[in-house]
Amino acid sequence: AQTVTQSQPEMSVQEAETVTLSCTYDTSESDYYLFWYKQPPSRQMILVIRQEAYKQQNATENRFSVNFQKAAKSFSLKISDSQLGDAAMYFCAYRSARAVQGSYNTDKLIFGTGTRLQVFP
Amino acid sequence: NAGVTQTPKFQVLKTGQSMTLQCAQDMNHNSMYWYRQDPGMGLRLIYYSASEGTTDKGEVPNGYNVSRLNKREFSLRLESAAPSQTSVYFCASSEGLGGYEQYFGPGTRLTVT
């Protein structure tokens, strides 16, 4: 079964600085998707960035970028020029690309336990 | 365009009571999901509906039932609430299975005393 591990329960960063959140995963599949979700105090889960495993190029969305190391099964999130509004819980998630109806093992998003990011002025 | 909406936002139940959590999406998505989020754990899938007319168990289905009422609505029912079901419940939807982005509702905080 696939697992997702976030080993940093909490991180902090100064405003305008850069911070990297770690995520590792375990899978025997070769084709899958990886996601970073942000959960602010409002509780709303918001997709930050998504990476397809078959793409070698690291995904980037404005100040957010990932370092995807497929062989090492590592998927870290880098936040540049941190802002106060970036303070939130961040969850790494995995999903198989092989979606088979009736098999939740392939249909579900598998989440890590989250990293709480604090941003200081 | 409201996205995914959930009602209620907060609920307190006594052990043994029943209730239904409502979820609706206006994005014409085929797939819908119910997750629960507990402290120190990520979200865990309770049930999902790949398309209208189908529902399947997720990782933690015991104590819950679901109904895909139509393409827009997917409800979660607790028949006899237990303190172990105290959690935050999220509904989500996506275009389909696989790598499509899942859009989440704002969550329902449920406390069972």
Query: Cis (ω within 30 of 0) for the bond into B8?
Result: yes
pLDDT given at position B97: 73
> What are the tokens at A42?
């409002």
Reply yes or no on whether the pLDDT at A103 is more than 80: no
Sequential DSSP letters for B18-85: -EEEEEEESS--SEEEEEEE-TTS-EEEEEEESSTT--EE-S--TTEEEEE-SSSBEEEEESS--GGG
pLDDT given at position A107: 62
- In what helix (H) or strand (E) does residue A106 lie, and over which residues does it extend? helix A104-107
Arithmetic mean of pLDDT, A89-118? 79
| A116 contacts chain B (CB < 8 A) | no
Residues of B with CB below 8 A from A107's CB? 48, 50, 56, 97
> What are the tokens at A109?
């998003």
Give the model confidence (pLDDT) of A41-67 as tens digits.
888 899 999 999 988 899 999 999 999
Mutate to test the interface with B, among A5, A43, A51, A96 (most CBs of B within 10 A): A43
Q: How far apart are the first and last CA of chain B?
A: 36
CB contact under 8 A, B98 and A95: yes
Reply yes or no on whether the pLDDT at A25 is more than 90: yes
Residues of A with CB below 8 A from B106's CB? 42-44
Among chain A residues, CA nearest to B89: A43
> Please, what is the average pLDDT of chain A?
90
Count of Cβ atoms closer than 10 Å to residue B99 Cβ: 20
Mutate to test the interface with A, among B37, B38, B41, B54 (most CBs of A within 10 A): B37
| B101 contacts chain A (CB < 8 A) | yes
pLDDT given at position A100: 57
> What are the tokens at A8?
């940093």
Residues of A with CB below 8 A from B101's CB? 35, 47, 50
Burial class (CB in 10 A: 0-12, 13-18, 19+), A41: exposed
Q: What is the DSSP letter of A107?
A: H
| pLDDT-flagged residues of chain B (< 70) | 1, 98-99
